[in-house]
Amino acid sequence: MPSFLGYSPAVRRNESRHQPPAAASSSFLTASSTVASRIACDERANEKMTLLCVPLVSKTVEQMVADAVAAKARGADIVEIRLDHLSDFDAVRDLPLLLRSRPLPALVTYRSFLVTYRPKWEGGEYEGDDKVRFDALCLAMELGAEYVDIELKVAENFVKLISGKKPESFKLIVSSHNYQTTPSSEELSGLVATIQAVGADIVKIATTAVDIVDVTRMFQVIVHCQVPMIGLVMGERGLISRLLCSKFGGYLTFGTLDSGKESAPGQPTISDLLNVYNIRQIGEDTKVYGIIGKPVGHSKGPILHNAAFKSVGFNAVYVPLLVDDLENFLNAYSSPDFAGFSCTIPHKEAALRCCDEVDPIAKAIGAVNTIVKRASDGKLIGYNTDYVGAISAIEDGLRGLRGGKDEIGSPLAGKIFVVIGAGGAGKALAYGAKAKGAKVVIANRTFERAKELANLMGAQALTLAELENFHPENGMILANTTSIGMQPNVNQTPVSKQALRWYSLVFDAVYTPKVTTLLREAQESGATVVSGLEMFIRQAMGQFELFTNLPGQLFNPVSYFDMLCIFKGASYNFFFFFLQLLKSFCAIFWHNTHKMVCFL
Ligand SMILES: NC(=O)c1ccc[n+]([C@@H]2O[C@H](COP(=O)([O-])OP(=O)(O)OC[C@H]3O[C@@H](n4cnc5c(N)ncnc54)[C@H](OP(=O)(O)O)[C@@H]3O)[C@@H](O)[C@H]2O)c1
């Protein structure tokens, strides 16, 4: 049980909350749909994990029926039939078809326009006539829908209407929505009590995250709730409320069939919930790791780390954490359940200040990209794995170039190493190159920052304009550590193609796309190129070691599926893809052979 919530497993609520009710018997239901529904329920009867619900938001009944079948095929437990999304809805005509053909237990929801789109509705602005909605929801219940969702504001009237008619297995969800904020814990607890008092079988509260810290209040209320509860915090900053439901005991979480088919802001896809975040494996004891950044949505870290955790059976999940204020975040998520973090733009330097102890290399670099919470005392220890990740990739690139795998010392020694950028990644590369004996030059948009870093590293500082004619020798090394050229600005490049002819190797920290304009032009100019993806995978391997205490060789997240995910939206060539695939098969083969040898 998450300790920051100060709660013991003994007081957890109703154990049966995670079992969808068996399909209600109804003369309108065919035997096959009843059986299908019952099987779906029985399969989960002995489990108490969070249920996975796909909202159906199509405009036609036919499409909704098709989407329900697709939802089952993709692994959903429940479908939410959103009647308000149907463009020409007639309850008597459409509900029998929708419910008869349902392949999974159904939650029927019929939000009024005012409920869905008027944030102040809970404050008393609603004046619509509910009769049409109530009649449809009653009919849905009579036709065998396993759940109906009704809003708190009108729940009392609806409860009166269905009183005495409720089938035994039917569950009424009473919901409250706040499209602006997340109230205090006390207010949320009060809301739970009000919803319970009105006669809800399941409490649903959806609020909005202004800051990721808001989500802690929802988690706190869920674990203390004595009845089944759906507690979700909407928006990108609330995403972890949807991903970590199983850990905190939420009754269900929503996953869309595809992106663009959300019924509320911030819903992930069912495919991401199951295949990236492995939510079926998440339980009370699962440790949470994550990538802290702003923005963070583009990060491939969750794909990589979750696959790696799964491959070694490490009970942990890695989630995106859109953080505005690092210190507030670390204070709010201080429990041992939140065990470690990766840091990206713009928090790497703040992370240095927020850690209780900092590894000497990270201190010398002046940036932390990995924070580990020490189990013995909860102290935050900062590290930097960017440096090893990038420098080892560049060294391997140079070794390949020279064909000198067995040479002693670093191939960077004595070379001019130009770093573009003076942020977190720039500092790591400058430090690493210096440590390997290279002559470091820093070029940055803000010249003052270039000078500052150059002074620290005993290096030379340049403006970006000066870089164009900078060629004291041939065969130099160039490393871009700015975001220039990153999607969507894929045509941008930090230095002209003419200036690239003085370099023997060009590295780009940007990895979306994999082949940036800088790398393409460098290749055309005859230089060896090293992609940011190499750095990304190697720095992640360093983080894996720190997070799991397992050897880096076990970091093997690259499956066929993962590669597809990593490269989705990035430009890549088939040859590289094939090589990576081969590499991954070899790694798996090596890993298994190694295990067999150890076993023997
Ligand atoms: N491949 C990997 O594993 C990996 C790891 C870490 C970082 N990265 C990538 O490296 C890049 C930088 O990350 P960071 O953490 O170092 O960020 P950061 O600390 O915010 O530093 C950003 C640097 O980029 C410069 N910059 C930003 N926009 C620019 C523009 N339009 N024109 C010229 N210079 C610009 C900044 O110059 P000013 O000083 O003038 O603001 C600064 O030097 C990002 O694209 C990130 O995704 C990749």
Q: Tokens 């020490």 belong to which residue?
A: 374
**Residue 550, both tokens:** 């397992």
Which region among 32-46, 95-109, 336-350 has the lowest average model confidence (pLDDT)? 32-46
Ligand 1 atom with least separation from CA of 533: 1
Q: How far is the CA of 380 from the centre of ligand 1 (A)?
A: 25
Cβ neighbour number for residue 35 with a 10 Å cutoff: 12
The pTM for the full model equals 0.84
The whole-number average pLDDT for the span 237-264 is 96
Q: Cα dihedral angle (179, 180, 181, 186), rounded to 10 degrees? A: -70
Q: How far is the CA of 146 from the centre of ligand 1 (A)?
A: 51
Q: Given pLDDT bands bounded at 50, 70 and 90, which one contains residue 19?
A: low
Ligand 1 atom with least separation from CA of 492: 31
Q: Is 221 helix (H, G, I), strand (E, B) or coil?
A: helix
Res 471 pLDDT > 60: yes
State the pLDDT at residue 114: 55
State the pLDDT at residue 405: 58
Residues in a beta bridge with 480:
420, 508
State the pLDDT at residue 408: 78
Res 47 pLDDT > 80: no
Q: Which residue owns the Cα nearest ligand 1 atom 13?
A: 425
Ligand 1 atom with least separation from CA of 420: 43
E strand or H helix at 177: strand 171-177
Q: How far is the CA of 153 from the centre of ligand 1 (A)?
A: 49
State the pLDDT at residue 184: 98
State the pLDDT at residue 265: 87
Res 444 pLDDT > 90: yes
The whole-number average pLDDT for the span 67-86 is 97
Q: Given pLDDT bands bounded at 50, 70 and 90, which one contains residue 401?
A: confident
Q: Which residue in the list 18, 177, 415, 514 is annotated as catalytic?
A: 177
Per-residue model confidence as pLDDT tens digits over 204-221: 999 999 999 999 999 999
Res 373 pLDDT > 90: yes
Q: Given pLDDT bands bounded at 50, 70 and 90, which one contains residue 583?
A: low
Res 31 pLDDT > 80: no
Q: Which residue owns the Cα nearest ligand 1 atom 7?
A: 425
CA-closest candidate to residue 95, choices 8, 28, 42, 192: 28
State the pLDDT at residue 557: 75
State the pLDDT at residue 49: 87
Res 570 pLDDT > 70: no
Q: How far is the CA of 535 from the centre of ligand 1 (A)?
A: 14
Res 588 pLDDT > 90: no
- Of 427, 445, 531, 541, the one to substitute when testing ligand 1's pocket (max ligand atoms within 8 A of C-beta) is 445
Q: Given pLDDT bands bounded at 50, 70 and 90, which one contains residue 264?
A: confident
Q: Which residue owns the Cα nearest ligand 1 atom 48?
A: 509
Active-site residue flag, 204: yes
The whole-number average pLDDT for the span 536-545 is 96
Q: Cα dihedral angle (360, 365, 369, 371), rounded to 10 degrees? A: 20
How many helices (H) and strands (E) in the chain?
A: 23, 20
Res 433 pLDDT > 60: yes
Q: How far is the CA of 214 from the centre of ligand 1 (A)?
A: 29
Residue 23 and residue 551: Cα distance in Å, rounded?
49
State the pLDDT at residue 128: 53
Active-site residue flag, 224: no
Percent of the chain with pLDDT over 70: 81
- The mean pLDDT value of the chain amounts to 86
State the pLDDT at residue 143: 97
Ligand 1 atom with least separation from CA of 428: 16
Res 138 pLDDT > 80: yes
The whole-number average pLDDT for the span 430-441 is 97
- Of 345, 456, 495, the one to substitute when testing ligand 1's pocket (max ligand atoms within 8 A of C-beta) is 345
Q: Which residue owns the Cα nearest ligand 1 atom 47?
A: 510
Q: Which residue owns the Cα nearest ligand 1 atom 26?
A: 482
CA-closest candidate to residue 186, choices 237, 241, 224: 224
Q: Given pLDDT bands bounded at 50, 70 and 90, which one contains residue 406?
A: low
Which region among 33-37, 216-220, 587-591 has the lowest average model confidence (pLDDT)? 33-37
Ligand 1 atom with least separation from CA of 482: 24
As for ligand 1, residues whose beta carbon falls within 6 Å of it are 344-346, 348, 386, 421-426, 444-446, 449, 481-484, 486, 509-511, 532, 535-536, 539
The whole-number average pLDDT for the span 524-547 is 96
Structural domains in the chain, CATH included, are 3-7+18-285 (3.20.20.70), 302-384+538-599 (3.40.50.10860), 405-530 (3.40.50.720)
E strand or H helix at 453: helix 447-457
Which region among 135-144, 294-303, 581-590 has the lowest average model confidence (pLDDT)? 581-590
The whole-number average pLDDT for the span 43-71 is 86
Res 329 pLDDT > 60: yes
Do the Cβ atoms of 401 and 505 come closer than 8 Å? yes
State the pLDDT at residue 218: 98
E strand spans, 255-298: 287-293
State the pLDDT at residue 582: 56
Active-site residue flag, 153: no
Which region among 59-73, 115-129, 323-337 has the lowest average model confidence (pLDDT)? 115-129
Q: Which residue owns the Cα nearest ligand 1 atom 37?
A: 445
What distance, in Å, lies between the first and last C-alpha atoms of the chain?
39
State the pLDDT at residue 313: 96
Res 127 pLDDT > 90: no
Q: How far is the CA of 189 from the centre of ligand 1 (A)?
A: 43
Q: Tokens 């991903």 belong to which residue?
A: 243
Which region among 103-117, 289-303, 346-360, 378-392 has the lowest average model confidence (pLDDT)? 103-117
Q: How far is the CA of 586 from the centre of ligand 1 (A)?
A: 34
Q: How far is the CA of 406 from the centre of ligand 1 (A)?
A: 34
State the pLDDT at residue 113: 64
Q: Given pLDDT bands bounded at 50, 70 and 90, which one contains residue 16?
A: very low
